[in-house]
Structure 1
Amino acid sequence: MILKKTLESICIRTIYPNTTTSVIVQVVHDDGALLPCAINAACAALVDAGIPLRHLAVAICCCVTDNNSIILDPSKQEEKKAKAFAYLVFPNTTVTVVPEKSLQVGSDPMAHGIITSVTHGAMSAILLHFLKMKVNA
């Protein structure tokens, strides 16, 4: 359901109102971060099919380990061992989300949007470059 809602939010459905677009995701191997992988693959498939999109969706998973370090794109085993994990999905825009006030995680202050900025910038640039190469090929 999350995948469906994400794809519906990026597709421009008013251009061809009497059409249906089906996206089928087949999981061959799951080594962690399955939902972000499915979102990125489905978005690439929509671009390849020429479906009009508002923007690209770029997804990544990050988790917090027992020693409070943050891992981007963890493996399945790292996800299982993690204290917490989150799936982050961003539109491919130049805007970066930065909180107005400092965040607190327990008693430790968290840098202003550093994880959001890093994942948004790095993943957007990589995925956009990949999609441009495939479209121009």
Structure 2
Amino acid sequence: MATGEGSLTKQDFERLSHFRYQLRRFLRASEDICNEHGLTSLQYQLLLHLKGFEGREWATVGELAERLQAKHHGTVMLVDRCEQLGLVERRPGRRDRRRIEVHLLEKGARQAELIAEHHQPELRHLQEEFRLPGWPELP
């Protein structure tokens, strides 16, 4: 890739355009899958981040906001909505009771698994499209 101001080539723009197209294609398919299962894309992403949080099965609102690249107050509202739907619950922290942990409930875990399963064809397509190094082969 070219570096420096004004030194991008036509090929650089083509590559970036292709990447953005494939990314948007994936996101659109994801939105459709989520809607078919009665969740918004953000609700699914919250469940996904809880299910996939490294080393534990819960996260704080701050950690979720970072993963979602969202504002703290927006993430609080998202957790509220998911809690109302019976997908997650807040619990006092084990070590610091002032710290609130967001835990995935069974219903939320089932939804996350079902929706993630439906994402596999799109992930396979992206893997083939970009031949991402270091990514394991998908079944």
More strand by share: 1
TM-score by length of 2: 0.27
Larger radius of gyration: 2
